[in-house]
């Protein structure tokens, strides 16, 4: 992947990337079904990639096709999921189910990472945060894999997404934001005090739950069809859990 040219990376994103932007010509996406049992295989192969260990080339091709360049610190696959939580292909055929993201753990994380993140998503929902549907997909190698319905897909339509990182040119690699600036940004974009209250809820939850992975790329705003920024969306569904020792302080300043 490190040897890929920029245009090759965009071709991998194709029509399945985050947000509403599409890139053509695109590399064909996998059109075969992914079974629940195969999640363990894909998770293991993704760990091999992260550890620079030998990888089955066929499985590597599948990981690239299923990933859609969703980026982030942890490997993910983009799939469609039915109401019964079975996985169907997200290829070029007739679409079935709804778009989801399923996350695997990184090389330095424990096996129960998915279970912990799922528990945090349930806690966030109880705390009144605007959370998309989440599910813990079963596994025989771990307590399960965390899955979340894509918030950038609404009723089959793609939704434009812009992060605080992009809007403010704020680095996500080091602390560069304050919650005060995020609250001001929310009011500026949405012109709705109710959305500011939502951002306050996110701030309180992050502080109280110990989620220190609140960097600038984990705050997103969605643009509706009327070119309005109707609500802020902190991607809690993608990065919500107590931070381990690799993040001793919060990325966004709250006091």
Residue spans per domain, the chain: 6-154, 159-253
- For the entire predicted model, the pTM comes to 0.84
What pLDDT, on the 0 to 100 scale, is given for residue 254? 77
Angle formed by the axes of helices 193-209 and 113-126, nearest 10°: 140
Token pair listed for 66: 């299923």
- Exposed, middle or buried, 106 (CB in 10 Å: 0-12/13-18/19+)? middle
What pLDDT, on the 0 to 100 scale, is given for residue 237? 46
Q: What confidence tens digit (pLDDT) does each residue in 166-215 have?
A: 999 998 888 889 999 999 999 998 888 988 999 999 999 988 988 888 88
What pLDDT, on the 0 to 100 scale, is given for residue 223? 84
Q: Which residues contact 159 (CB under 8 A, 6 or more apart)?
A: 19, 20, 151, 152, 153, 222, 223, 224
User: Which residues of the chain are under the pLDDT cut of 70?
Assistant: 1-3, 28-33, 68-73, 89-95, 228-249, 255
Beta bridge partners of 154: 157
Q: What confidence tens digit (pLDDT) does each residue in 77-95 have?
A: 888 899 999 888 655 455 6
> How many angstroms separate the CA atoms of 57 and 45, rounded?
10
- 99: Cα within 13 Å, side-chain hemisphere: 23
Token pair listed for 60: 């590597």
């Amino acid at each position: 992947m490190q040897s890929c040219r920029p245009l090759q990376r965009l071709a991998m994103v194709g029509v399945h990337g985050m947000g509403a932007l599409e890139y053509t010509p695109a590399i064909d996406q996998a059109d075969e079904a992914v079974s629940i049992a195969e999640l363990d295989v894909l998770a293991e192969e993704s760990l091999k990639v992260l550890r620079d260990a030998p990888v089955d080339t066929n499985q590597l091709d599948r990981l690239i096709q299923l990933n859609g360049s969703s980026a982030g610190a942890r490997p993910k696959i983009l799939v469609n999921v039915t109401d019964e939580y079975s996985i169907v292909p997200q290829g070029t055929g007739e679409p079935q189910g709804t778009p989801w993201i399923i996350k695997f753990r990184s090389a330095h994380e424990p096996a129960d990472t998915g279970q912990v993140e799922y528990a945090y998503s349930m806690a966030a929902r109880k705390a009144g945060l605007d959370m998309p549907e989440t599910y813990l997909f079963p596994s025989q190698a771990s307590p399960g894999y965390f899955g979340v319905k894509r918030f950038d897909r609404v009723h089959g339509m793609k939704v434009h997404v812009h992060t605080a990182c992009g809007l403010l040119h704020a680095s996500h690699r080091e602390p560069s934001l304050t919650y005060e600036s995020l609250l001001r940004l929310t009011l500026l974009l949405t012109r709705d005090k109710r959305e500011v209250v939502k951002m306050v809820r996110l701030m309180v939850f992050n502080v109280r739950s110990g989620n220190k992975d609140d960097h600038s790329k984990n705050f997103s705003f969605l643009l509706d069809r009327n070119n309005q920024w109707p609500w802020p969306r902190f991607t809690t569904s993608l990065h919500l859990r107590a931070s381990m020792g690799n993040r001793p302080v919060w990325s966004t300043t709250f006091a």
